[in-house]
Amino acid sequence: MIVIMEEVSDKKQVAVVESAIKKHGYKSNSIRFSSESIGTFPETGENAETLKELPGVKKVIEKEQNNRLARRETRQEDTIVQVGEEKIGDGNLTVIAGPCAVESEDQTMRIAEEVLESGAQILRGGAYKPRTSPYSFQGLGERGLAILAKVRDKTGLPIVTEALDPMTAPTVAEYSDMIQIGARNMQNFSLLETVGKLGKPVILKRGMSANLEEVLLAAEYIMSNGCSEVVVCERGIRTFSDHSRNTLDLGLIPVFKRVSHLPIIVDPSHASGVRENVLPLAYAALGVGADGIMVDVHDEPQKARVDGDQAILPAEFEQMMHHLRTLGNSIDIVVGCH
């Protein structure tokens, strides 16, 4: 059940509703969007009628099918997620770029300056890397986070970086402006719950075999723990296709936008696995109405410690931004920094 409060409802009214919920033995989680606040508890009680009468309550959604904070039934308005000064979901195309992994301060700073120059709004870079092999580079850990924070301070670019487990997630939150949940962790429910409580916006990457419902429910884990600022990322799924690392499911974007008010972005780099495909897939992402793109960029991809084959060069990133802006202009969408 979801209780939607009036936009003008004050904290006291929310507290009254919450205590009424708790009195009946249910858990109450509050979540605040920009314009309204919502109290939720997992099971439908017979007391919905009494909740409806409480001051500040706008409506009570009882139907199980609608019991989703991420769904349009709960919130018609598009959710705009704020990361530093940047917005995701405001109708424009937000551009997130950077190396797959933070390798050194020098490397991260060089790439950040290049992508900033071309109009990127948010810097990406993994400090904790989920690797298929335990013998591969696992990331610089907290040292990597400190590098990202330093680069943010120098360039002004807000940073997004992955949290791998509940133990280190609070440290990731301390250093970063936005937390990434990787595809492999989309259904790591204890991590989702932890990250939902950390007070930072979240990019939730679609699991490589997750369907729409599973993605929405993963978002629900984060949101029901208090975080209203979730951005979903389509990064390609596993199919029988053997020409590409993954298959970018572009068809998800318009469907997702109909059923959910959350922003959805596209990662053409992890979807394709090869540099040559990144630009065309980025253009397609703009065409299908994605709220943003997240792209791997490296100035020495042959030396990259992770995913060098899919990293585009700074010059290619510049070219991509130029073409995206031209395409965006024709459909009234601003691309990148403005």
Q: Give dist(CA 266, CA 248) in Å, integer.
A: 9
Give the interface segment with Mn ion, choosing from 6-14, 82-90, 100-108, 317-325 (CB under 5 A). 100-108
Q: Give dist(CA 189, CA 269) in Å, integer.
A: 26
Q: Give dist(CA 228, CA 251) in Å, integer.
A: 25
Asked if 100 interacts with Mn ion (CB under 5 A), we say yes
**Binding-site member from 152, 270, 298, 305 for ligand PEP (CB under 6 A):** 270
Residues from 2 through 21 that contact ligand PEP (CB under 6 A): none
CB of 245 to Mn ion, least distance (A): 10
* Contact between residue 271 and residue 235 where contact means Cβ atoms under 8 Å apart: yes
By beta-carbon proximity to ligand PEP, the closer residue of 162 and 229 is 162
Asked if 100 interacts with ligand PEP (CB under 6 A), we say yes
By beta-carbon proximity to ligand PEP, the closer residue of 92 and 188 is 188
Binding-site partner at residue 183 among ligand PEP, Mn ion, none, CB < 5 to 8 Å by type: ligand PEP
Q: Which residue has the tokens 């510049």?
A: 318
CB of 86 to ligand PEP, least distance (A): 18
Instruction: Report which residue type is found at 133.
Output: S
Q: Alpha carbon of 255 to those of 99, 146, 149, 217, 290: distances in Å?
A: 30, 38, 36, 16, 11
Asked if 298 interacts with ligand PEP (CB under 6 A), we say no
Strands 264-266 and 230-234: parallel
Number of Cβ atoms within 10 Å of the Cβ of 114:
20
By beta-carbon proximity to Mn ion, the closer residue of 17 and 237 is 237
Asked if 86 interacts with Mn ion (CB under 5 A), we say no
CB of 102 to ligand PEP, least distance (A): 11
Which is nearest to 166 in space by CA: 209, 195, 139, 205?
195
**Binding-site member from 75, 152, 205, 275 for ligand PEP (CB under 6 A):** 205
Output phi, psi for 283, to 5 deg.
-65, -40
Asked if 103 interacts with Mn ion (CB under 5 A), we say no
Asked if 268 interacts with ligand PEP (CB under 6 A), we say no
CB of 290 to ligand PEP, least distance (A): 15
Longest C-alpha distance within the chain, in Å?
65
Asked if 99 interacts with ligand PEP (CB under 6 A), we say no
Q: Give dist(CA 103, CA 107) in Å, integer.
A: 6
CB of 334 to ligand PEP, least distance (A): 24
**Binding-site member from 39, 98, 126, 201 for ligand PEP (CB under 6 A):** 126
Asked if 130 interacts with ligand PEP (CB under 6 A), we say yes
Asked if 278 interacts with ligand PEP (CB under 6 A), we say no
Asked if 71 interacts with ligand PEP (CB under 6 A), we say no
Q: In sequence order, what are the residues at sequence separation of 6 or more whose Cβ sits closer than 8 angstroms to the Cβ of residue 166?
A: 190, 191, 193, 194
Q: Give dist(CA 215, CA 232) in Å, integer.
A: 8
Asked if 162 interacts with Mn ion (CB under 5 A), we say no
By beta-carbon proximity to Mn ion, the closer residue of 128 and 221 is 128
* Contact between residue 252 and residue 242 where contact means Cβ atoms under 8 Å apart: no
- Chain residues that interact with Mn ion, rule: CB under 5 A: 100, 307
- Chain residues that interact with ligand PEP, rule: CB under 6 A: 100, 126, 130, 162, 182-184, 205, 235, 270
